[in-house]
Amino acid sequence: MNDDFKKAIGDISNELRSLMQGGVWEEDLEAALSSIELTDAQHSAIKQAASPTFFQDFTFGETNVKPTLSSQLAHAFRDPVAKSSLSMELTSRANYDGATTLEILTQARTILEDITHNYPLILGEDMPRDVQDILDGYKTQIIPKLSEHINALSAETGIDAASFAPPTIGVEHLSSLPDDAFTNGMTNE
């Protein structure tokens, strides 16, 4: 990986962080998530899509400290993106091999694709405008740039980016939720 490639990855990391800074979007997101009721099918779909870290925190926490599902979902919006941004920043400064860099970039893209898929399903019409703006930034700015660099690095290394496992360990992440569980049944309290 040349210095231009590493700089481009650092720029994407900065852009990702910039999208999440400022405003009251975090409070808006948690408030919107707190106002929805999940059907049993939706709750089950979330459990099935949850990474072990997300699932364990939600399922096995002590009653008096156990996070609410809305706070867990809000955290699952923030945590994997922050960790992806940090991983990309480190990648831009370190001398990782092509396979390690490709895995970091592929997992970051997967996280963003899952978030941009899941939260419109979960929130539907209750999606806060500032949160939608962040999702739009992921879709139009970050994911295309990541895809471009993933394709270039995949061609350079001969490694198929699809061969990397989705992020699951140490990240409170939701894999892509099934559309059919969320097309009907979501209500406001």
52-60 and 69-93 helices, crossing angle to 10°: 150
CA dist., res. 99 & res. 105, Å (int): 10
3-class DSSP assignment, residue 174? strand
Task: List pLDDT tens digits, range 14-54.
Answer: 999 999 887 789 899 999 998 888 888 888 898 888 887 77
pLDDT at 9 over 70: yes
Which residue in this structure is represented by tokens 């400022």? 22
The confidence score (pLDDT) of residue 102 equals: 93
pTM of the model: 0.88
Residues 6+ apart with CB under 8 A from 99: 157, 159
Residue 127's pLDDT band, with cuts at 50, 70 and 90, is very high
